[in-house]
């Protein structure tokens, strides 16, 4: 029940590094819809249909080629009018980050 056009850029500058950046805009399909599975909804449609901007980034590095890889990344949601103004919106702009080590055998 939402529309999410986006653009993704991936780069691999050498055999050990690669990275990705992703942007998407988040719109409700109809101003009276709820936002995904969050339950945030404005039945009147008065809060608009723009939920916000989502930005994600990831970088990976082969510490030991084809064996041990380090990965880190983040995702940020910059809320739009709907997620700020809907009657049951909780507010705030979520930020998620992670660091991961993968070992292949």
pLDDT of 71 strictly over 80: yes
pLDDT of 74 strictly over 80: yes
Average pLDDT, integer, range 62-90: 95
| Domains in the chain, number | 1
Tell me how far apart the alpha carbons of residues 103 and 38 are, in angstroms, rounded to a whole number. 35
DSSP 3-state assignment of 33?
Answer: coil
Q: Which residues pair with 26 in a beta bridge?
A: 52
Range of the domain at 45: 2-103
Nearest of 91, 61, 65 to residue 78 by alpha carbon? 91
Q: Which H or E run contains 29?
A: none
pLDDT of 85 strictly over 90: yes
**73 neighbors 29 (Cβ within 8 angstroms):** no
pLDDT tier for residue 73 given thresholds of 50, 70 and 90:
very high
pLDDT tier for residue 36 given thresholds of 50, 70 and 90:
confident
For 69, the token pair is: 């890889």
pLDDT of 92 strictly over 90: no
Q: Say what the pTM is.
A: 0.83
The CB density around residue 3, as the number of other CB atoms within 10 Å, is: 12
pLDDT tier for residue 1 given thresholds of 50, 70 and 90:
confident
């Amino acid at each position: 029940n939402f529309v999410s056009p986006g653009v993704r850029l991936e780069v691999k500058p050498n055999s050990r590094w690669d990275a990705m950046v992703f942007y998407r805009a988040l719109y409700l399909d109809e101003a009276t819809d709820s936002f995904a599975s969050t339950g945030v909804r404005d039945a009147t449609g008065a809060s608009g249909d723009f939920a916000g901007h989502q930005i994600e980034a990831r970088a990976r590095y082969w510490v030991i080629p084809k064996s041990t890889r380090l990965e880190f990344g983040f995702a940020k949601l910059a809320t739009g009018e709907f997620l700020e103004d809907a009657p049951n919106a909780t507010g705030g702009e979520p930020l998620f980050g992670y660091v991961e080590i993968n070992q292949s055998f």
